[in-house]
Chains A and B, each alone.
Chain A
Amino acid sequence: MKKIKTPAELKKIIASFKVKKDSKPCIVVATGTCGIARGADKVVTALKKELKQHGLASKIDIKITGCHGFCEIEPHLTVLPAEIFYVSLQLADVKEIVSKTVMKKKTIERLLYTNPETNRKVIKEEDIPFYRKQTRNILANNALIDPQNIEDYFGINGYSSLSKVLTAMTEEEVIEKVKQSGLRGRGGAGFPTGFKWSFCRKAKGNTKYIVCNADEGDPGAYMDRGLLEGNPHRILEGMIIGAYAIGANEGFVYIRDEYPIAVKTIKNAIKQARQYGLLDKNILGSNFDFDIKIVRGAGAFVCGEETALIASIEGKKGEPRQRPPFPAQKGLWKKPTNINNVETWANIPLIISKGAKWYSKIGTEKSKGTKIFSLVGKINNTGLVEVPMGLTLKDMIYGIGGGIPDGKSFKGVQTGGPSGGCLPKELLDTPIDYERLKEAGSIIGSGGMVIMDEDTCMVDVARYFLEFLQDESCGKCLSCREGIKRMAEIVTDITKGQGKEGDIELLEELAHVVKDTSMCGLGQTAANPVLSTIKYFRDEYETHIRDRKCPAGVCRDLYISPCQNACPMGMNVPGYISLIGEGRFQEALSLALDTNPFPSICGRVCDHQCQSKCRRNQIDESVAIRTLKRVIGDYEENHIEYPEIKIPKEKMPFKVAIIGAGPAGLSCAYFLARLGYEPTVFEALPVAGGMLAVAIPEYRLPKHILQREIDNIKKLGVEIKLNTRVGKDITFSQLWSQGYEAFFVAVGMYGDRRLGIPGENLENVFQAVDLLRDINLDKPIASPVGKKVVVIGGGNSAVDAARTMLRMGSSKVTLIYRRTRREMPAYEEEIEAAEYEGVEIQYLTTPEKIFGEQGKVKSIECIKMKQGEFDKEGRRRPVPIKNSNFFLDVDIVIPAIGEFSDVTELFTGLDVETNADGTIKCDKNGRASIPGVFSGGDVASGPSTVIKAVAAGEHATVAIDQYLTKDRTRKYPWREHKKVDTFFDPEAEPVKYSMQKPKTLSAYDRKGNFKEVEMCYTKSRAMKEAKRCLRCDLEIELQEKMEQEKRAKEAA
Chain B
Amino acid sequence: MIEMTIDGLDVQVEEGSSILDVAQFYGIPVPTLCHHDGLTDYGACRLCIVEIGKGDNTKLVSSCTYPAELGLFVRTNSKRVVEARKVLVELLLAMCPSSKTIQDLAAAMEVTKVRFKVEQGDCVLCGLCVRMCAEQMDAKAIGFVNRGKDRKITTPFDIKSDVCRTCGACIYICPACELRCQGPGPPGDVCGSCANVLPVCLEDEDDKMCFLGTCGWCYKELGRKKNKEKE
Contact = CB atoms under 8 A, between A and B. Distances in A.
Interface of A: 300, 302, 317-318, 321-322, 324-325, 469-479, 481-486, 489-490, 506, 509-510, 512-513, 516-519
Given A324-B67, A478-B45, A519-B46, 16 more contacts: A300-B147, A322-B65, A471-B150, A472-B148, A473-B148, A475-B148, A479-B88, A481-B149, A482-B92, A484-B149, A485-B149, A486-B91, A513-B83, A517-B49, A517-B60, A519-B65
B46 A479 contact: yes
Interface in B169-192: none
B66 to A, nearest CB: 6
Contact of B147 (A322, A472, A489): A472
B87 A471 contact: no
A475 B44 CA distance: 9
Contacts of A509: 87
B61 interface: yes
A518 to B, nearest CB: 7
A33 B116 CA distance: 43
B105 interface: no
Given A470-B148, A470-B149, A506-B115, A513 B44 contact: no
Interface string B79-98: 01001100110011011000
B108 interface: no
A214 B146 CA distance: 22
Contacts of A325: 67
A517 B125 contact: no
A479 B43 contact: no
Contacts of A475: 125, 144, 146-151
A510 B148 contact: no
Contacts of B148: 469-475, 481
B188 to A, nearest CB: 16
A283 to B, nearest CB: 38
B87 A474 contact: no
Ranked nearest first, the 4 interchain pairs of A and B with the lowest CB-CB distance are: A475-B151, A322-B65, A513-B87, A482-B91
B99 interface: no
A913 B154 CA distance: 65
Which residue of B87, B94, B127 has the most chain A CB atoms within 10 A of its CB atom? B87
A471 B149 contact: yes
Nearest to B64: A322
Contacts of B126: 478
B117 interface: yes
16 contacts: A302-B147, A317-B144, A321-B65, A325-B67, A469-B148, A471-B147, A478-B45, A478-B47, A478-B91, A478-B124, A478-B126, A485-B149, A490-B116, A510-B87, A517-B46, A518-B46
B193 interface: no
B103 to A, nearest CB: 16
A489 B66 CA distance: 32
A470 B148 CA distance: 5
A438 to B, nearest CB: 14
A302 B150 CA distance: 15
A478 to B, nearest CB: 5
Contacts of B124: 478
B91 A516 contact: no
Interface string B96-113: 000000000000000000
Contacts of B65: 321-322, 519
Nearest to A487: B116
Chain A interface helix/strand/loop/mixed: helix
A388 B115 CA distance: 46
Nearest to B51: A516
Contacts of B42: 476
A300 to B, nearest CB: 6
B76 interface: no
A609 B158 CA distance: 55
Nearest to A320: B43
A599 B163 CA distance: 78
Contacts of B214: none
Interface string B31-61: 0000000000011111101000000000111
Contacts of B88: 478-479, 513, 517
A277 B59 CA distance: 47
A481 B65 CA distance: 18
B217 to A, nearest CB: 25
Given A471-B149, A513-B87, A517-B88, A476 B44 contact: yes
Contacts of A489: 116-117
Given A475-B144, A477-B43, A478-B124, A513 B151 contact: no
A472 B149 CA distance: 8
A476 B46 CA distance: 10
Contacts of A477: 43-44, 46
Contacts of B84: 512-513, 516-517
Contacts of B43: 321-322, 476-477, 519
Nearest to B144: A317
A486 B44 contact: no
A916 to B, nearest CB: 35
B87 A478 contact: no
A496 to B, nearest CB: 13
Contacts of A484: 149
B94 to A, nearest CB: 7
Contacts of B47: 478
A302 B146 CA distance: 12
Nearest to A325: B67
Nearest to B47: A478
B76 to A, nearest CB: 14
A884 to B, nearest CB: 53
B62 A322 contact: yes
Contacts of B127: 476
A519 B150 CA distance: 19
B154 to A, nearest CB: 13
Contacts of A490: 116
Nearest to A317: B144
B94 A482 contact: yes
Nearest to A523: B46
Nearest to A493: B117
A481 B62 contact: no
A854 to B, nearest CB: 71
B61 A322 contact: yes
B47 to A, nearest CB: 8
Contacts of B44: 476-478
B147 A473 contact: yes
Nearest to A489: B117
A478 B147 contact: no
B77 to A, nearest CB: 15
A921 to B, nearest CB: 35
Contacts of A512: 84
A600 to B, nearest CB: 51
B17 to A, nearest CB: 14
A62 to B, nearest CB: 44
B43 to A, nearest CB: 6
A311 to B, nearest CB: 12
Given A483-B91, A509-B87, A510-B87, A519 B62 contact: yes
Contacts of A302: 147
Contacts of A478: 44-47, 88, 91-92, 124-126
Contacts of B151: 474-475, 481
A473 B146 CA distance: 10
A324 B94 CA distance: 32
Given A322-B62, A516-B84, A519-B62, A486 B94 contact: yes
A469 B47 CA distance: 22
B204 to A, nearest CB: 37
A516 B116 CA distance: 19
A985 to B, nearest CB: 41
A777 to B, nearest CB: 61
B106 to A, nearest CB: 14
Interface in B201-225: none
Contacts of A470: 148-149
A992 to B, nearest CB: 44
A300 B44 CA distance: 19
